[in-house]
């Protein structure tokens, strides 16, 4: 087996650390023939109750929930802001409601409430979100369209984390774990202040990639079953001209009207999957250009996405580097095509890109329970539900039965074999068809509130995640306004 293949097979087995050859993240520099042994260092120690690694879509809600329970909470985020893919790659935030528009006699319910809904309500008040306007077409896919302003979202995330009393460590990399037997004692961080050891009782991995789980030698799979992506904001564009053009070409897909730049009843979601302009469509397909987008601003498309399947894995530095170069070329081509062929975009320009490539799945972490596709589409509930969810991204092919919901059980967040670690966000659920539901934004947010609440309760009693009584967790989740079906 070649060196490169060898390092990838280690990642697949989750055995990097045990092998002791390539570092516990399971990737190695190519052609690495010799090794340098790092000198042992004494690191300064900080102590917390709860550590949340990754301040993205799920992580900020985990940190807020833990801190609101009174836990001394640290949030570790490698970038200079929080919000993750919700502010970097998304389109609409799916979904706070059940799919009530697709089924007769189905009651409309806001099925995810709690801190995520409080966040969107505050963002809407700031003019940074549409709230929950009903879709005009595409009613068998989602019932409402929650679109956001990426920059106001980042600002509000900081405000609410601060208000909750979270210690925010941005520009800080989670770089290691201190594990004794099957319990995490602490994590190692790296920032411009140097390396530090952060000790705590409970830990949450919300890095998307599963970095903390890998450092802690948890079991994981690398499934490589999605395209990766970058997305850009397209400014100086006329949304109304774009809409007219789509309409005259009979190319309107999913449409929603809502508040835009302070005015009601404007287009905030536009899908144009059937835009068959000769010269444009073949080139657009080649670069993986997605023609579904949202906005909450006049003259600005919040997200234009270019997809690309990374030929190796999204865990290999060199494969990622090649993909970053390719995707940025695709974004330049996308802007060129839109300006040339689509009225409304003649003078548009790229105003924002994501700082790095976005993944739909990195490591899939093995947890005590693996949510199945049947659980999702048959709307199953469990005796340890932490919240309920009702959206599937493959709808209308797969919808949750009768426009209902399924439960996210507590067990699905507990990392197998580790006493005090939760995995949340895109890392849970192995079945791709089930993951097409659990990975969506609002599900990740709900998992955040659930895990943060649980982690704080465990920290209070200095116990591991499996010692927590469900009744205690449920009581606190209900106090935190989490919605349950019964
Ligand atoms: C291109 C794209 C478009 C999508 N569109 C939609 C959509 O329209 N609607 C929808 O509902 N869902 C959509 N999704 C799915 C959804 O947005 C994601 O699944 C979800 O946001 C993932 O949240 P997360 O918290 O797991 O990860 P993230 O939001 O990526 O958060 C992970 C955070 O951890 C940080 N981090 C990573 N490693 C480290 C480390 N070692 N140390 C410190 N910090 C670290 C990252 O910087 C990041 O902030 C989309 C996903 C993608 C990729």
Question: Tens digit of pLDDT for each residue in 115-172?
Answer: 999 999 999 999 999 999 999 999 999 999 999 999 999 999 999 999 999 999 999 9
Contacts of 125 (CB under 8 A, 6+ apart): none
In terms of Cβ atoms closer than 10 Å to its own Cβ (0-12, 13-18, 19+), residue 325 is exposed
CA 134/CA 141 separation, integer angstroms: 12
- CB of 446 closer than 6 angstroms to any ligand 1 atom: no
Q: 152 near 302, Cβ under 8 Å?
A: no
- Cα(42) to ligand 1 centroid in Å equals 33
Question: How many CB atoms lie under 10 A from the CB of residue 279?
Answer: 10
Residue 10 — pLDDT band, cuts 50, 70, 90?
very low
Question: Which residue CA neighbors atom 3 of ligand 1 most closely?
Answer: 90
- Cα(423) to ligand 1 centroid in Å equals 13
The mean of the pLDDT values for the chain is 93
In terms of Cβ atoms closer than 10 Å to its own Cβ (0-12, 13-18, 19+), residue 445 is buried
**Closest C-alpha among 292, 305, 259 to residue 149:** 259
Q: What does pTM read for this prediction?
A: 0.94
- 271 is written with which tokens? 């899908």
Per-residue model confidence (pLDDT) at position 17: 36
- CB of 53 closer than 6 angstroms to any ligand 1 atom: yes
Q: Which residue has the tokens 């989670």?
A: 174
Q: What pLDDT digit, counting tens, does each position of 419-472 carry?
A: 999 999 999 999 999 999 999 999 999 999 999 999 999 999 999 999 999 999
In which order are the strands placed within the sheet that holds 289-290? 289-290, 300-308, 228-235, 349-353
Pocket test for ligand 1, best of 25, 55, 56, 432 (most atoms within 8 A of CB): 56
- 179 is written with which tokens? 């594990």
- Cα(319) to ligand 1 centroid in Å equals 19
- CB of 14 closer than 6 angstroms to any ligand 1 atom: no
Per-residue model confidence (pLDDT) at position 275: 82
The secondary structure element, H or E, covering residue 300 is: strand 300-308
Q: 385 near 484, Cβ under 8 Å?
A: yes
Question: How many CB atoms lie under 10 A from the CB of residue 471?
Answer: 7
- CB of 84 closer than 6 angstroms to any ligand 1 atom: yes
Q: 85 near 114, Cβ under 8 Å?
A: no
Q: Which residue has the tokens 């037997």?
A: 181
- CB of 58 closer than 6 angstroms to any ligand 1 atom: yes
Question: Which residue CA neighbors atom 23 of ligand 1 most closely?
Answer: 57
Atom of ligand 1 nearest to the CA of 91: 8
Atom of ligand 1 nearest to the CA of 305: 1
Residue 1 — pLDDT band, cuts 50, 70, 90?
very low
Per-residue model confidence (pLDDT) at position 21: 28
Residue 25 — pLDDT band, cuts 50, 70, 90?
low
Q: What pLDDT digit, counting tens, does each position of 73-100 carry?
A: 999 999 999 999 999 998 999 999 999 9
- CB of 124 closer than 6 angstroms to any ligand 1 atom: no
- CB of 364 closer than 6 angstroms to any ligand 1 atom: no
Contacts of 168 (CB under 8 A, 6+ apart): 55, 75, 77, 82, 158, 161, 162
- CB of 358 closer than 6 angstroms to any ligand 1 atom: yes
- Cα(364) to ligand 1 centroid in Å equals 14
- Cα(220) to ligand 1 centroid in Å equals 18
- CB of 116 closer than 6 angstroms to any ligand 1 atom: no
């Amino acid at each position: 087996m070649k060196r490169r293949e060898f390092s990838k097979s280690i990642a697949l087995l989750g055995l990097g650390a045990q092998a002791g050859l390539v570092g516990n993240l399971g990737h190695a520099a190519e052609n690495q023939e010799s090794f340098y042994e790092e000198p042992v260092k004494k690191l300064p120690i900080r102590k917390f109750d709860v550590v949340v690694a990754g301040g993205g879509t799920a992580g900020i809600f985990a940190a807020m929930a833990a801190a609101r329970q009174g836990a001394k909470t640290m949030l570790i985020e490698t970038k200079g802001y929080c919000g993750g893919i919700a502010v970097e790659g998304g389109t609409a935030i799916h979904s706070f409601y059940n799919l009530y528009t697709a089924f007769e006699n189905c009651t409309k319910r806001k099925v995810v409430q709690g801190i995520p809904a409080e966040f969107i309500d505050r963002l809407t008040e700031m003019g940074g979100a549409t709230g929950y306007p009903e879709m005009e077409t595409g009613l068998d896919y989602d019932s409402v369209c929650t679109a956001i302003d990426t920059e106001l979202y980042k600002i509000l995330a900081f405000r609410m984390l601060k208000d909750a009393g979270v210690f925010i460590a941005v520009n800080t990399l989670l770089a290691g774990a201190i594990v004794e037997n099957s319990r995490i004692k602490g994590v190692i961080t790296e920032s411009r202040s140097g390396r530090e050891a952060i000790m705590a009782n409970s830990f949450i991995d919300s890095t998307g990639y599963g970095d903390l789980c890998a450092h802690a030698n948890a079991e994981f799979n690398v499934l490589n079953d999605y395209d990766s992506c970058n997305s850009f904001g397209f400014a100086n564009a006329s949304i109304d001209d774009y809409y007219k053009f789509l309409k005259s070409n009979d190319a309107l897909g999913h449409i929603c009207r809502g508040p835009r730049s302070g005015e009601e009843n404007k287009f905030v979601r536009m899908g144009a999957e059937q835009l068959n302009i000769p010269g444009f469509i073949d080139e657009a397909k080649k670069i993986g250009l997605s023609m579904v987008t949202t906005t909450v601003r006049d003259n600005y498309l919040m997200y234009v996405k270019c997809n690309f399947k990374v030929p190796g894995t999204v865990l290999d530095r060199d494969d990622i580097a090649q993909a970053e170069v390719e995707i940025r070329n695709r974004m330049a081509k996308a802007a060129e095509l839109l300006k040339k062929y689509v009225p409304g975009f003649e003078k548009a320009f790229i105003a924002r890109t994501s700082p790095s490539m976005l993944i739909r799945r990195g490591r899939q972490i093995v947890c005590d329970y693996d949510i199945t596709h049947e659980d999702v589409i048959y709307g199953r509930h469990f005796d340890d539900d932490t919240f309920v969810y009702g959206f599937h991204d493959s709808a209308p092919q797969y919808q949750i039965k009768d426009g209902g919901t399924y439960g996210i059980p507590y067990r699905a967040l507990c990392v197998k074999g580790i006493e005090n670690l939760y995995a949340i966000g895109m890392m849970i659920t192995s079945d791709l068809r089930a993951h097409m539901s659990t990975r969506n934004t609002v599900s990740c947010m709900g998992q955040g509130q659930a895990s943060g609440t649980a982690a704080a309760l465990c920290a209070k009693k200095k116990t591991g995640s499996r010692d927590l009584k469900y009744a205690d967790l449920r009581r606190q989740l209900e106090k935190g306004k989490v919605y349950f079906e019964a």
